[in-house]
Amino acid sequence: MFLLLALVGPLVAPYAANEQLLLDARQPPSSSHLFGTDHLGRDVFSRVVLGARDIFLLAGLGTLVAVALGALVGLVAGYLGGLYDEITFRLFDSLLAIPALLFALLLLGSFGPSRRNVLIVIVLAYVPIVARVTRSVVLDVKTRDYLAAARLQGEPLTAILFRELLPATLPALAVESALRFSYAIFLVASLGFLGAGVQPPNPDWGLMINEARSFASLTPWVLYFPAAAISLLVISVNLMADGLKSALLGDG
């Protein structure tokens, strides 16, 4: 449902994200404004619907790039081993020692809040985790007979990595991708709430919650609906991750 809203949001939203209907300001949910309006007269339903696209673009694209880069690094490091493996994962260990939100705030505080920088933060925060998961699978698989046969046949490194090893890592990567996506959603929303992510007047759900705090007693619906959207989406993605885990890894 959220993915569909992200794709067709402008066709569903009755108003523009920042359209101000001053005569309808602070209206509770009704037939004309399903989620009510905020203190500026902006339709909350339209902003929640249109904000779904930002969530999927930032969290989804960031997760996709992080999984691709992490899988590549994990494949190479796990298969080659040695000094390259040690240096790469000691560096990753130093990054993993910093909580993702604190790491994001440090980077965004240095380079400034923007969509591009939020995307970079997601990639840098989750590449080490994905690489570690991929490497653990590769370390188990590379000792099997069919890998030895591939080496004896003289297969090049790229063929061994992407034709022999990558398929064995796909189930674990699918589950990890779903988990990283749920964490990325929460990270994007948290950065918006703290004012370090997407900036006003964008309809970012975390930013909407931050803006609604000052008017929570007068217009509580402005706070509740974007918070509910974040909760529902994160819970949905986590349930999807559990389903993938049961289906692909047989852990039910």
| 64-93 pLDDT per residue, tens | 999 999 999 999 999 998 898 899 999 998
The C-alpha atoms of residue 202 and residue 206 are separated, in whole angstroms, by 10
Q: Which amino acid is at 240?
A: M
Looking at the domain that runs over 2-17+34-249, which CATH code has it been given?
1.10.3720.10
Report residue 127 CA to chain centroid gap: 12
Phi-psi region of 114 (alpha: psi -120 to 50; beta: other; left: phi over 0): beta
The structure's pTM equals 0.88
Q: Report the pLDDT value the prediction gives residue 233, as an integer from 0 to 100.
A: 94
Q: Report the pLDDT value the prediction gives residue 125, as an integer from 0 to 100.
A: 93
Parts of the chain with a pLDDT under 70: 250-252
Q: Report the pLDDT value the prediction gives residue 251, as an integer from 0 to 100.
A: 54
Burial (CB count <10 Å: 0-12, 13-18, 19+), residue 218: exposed
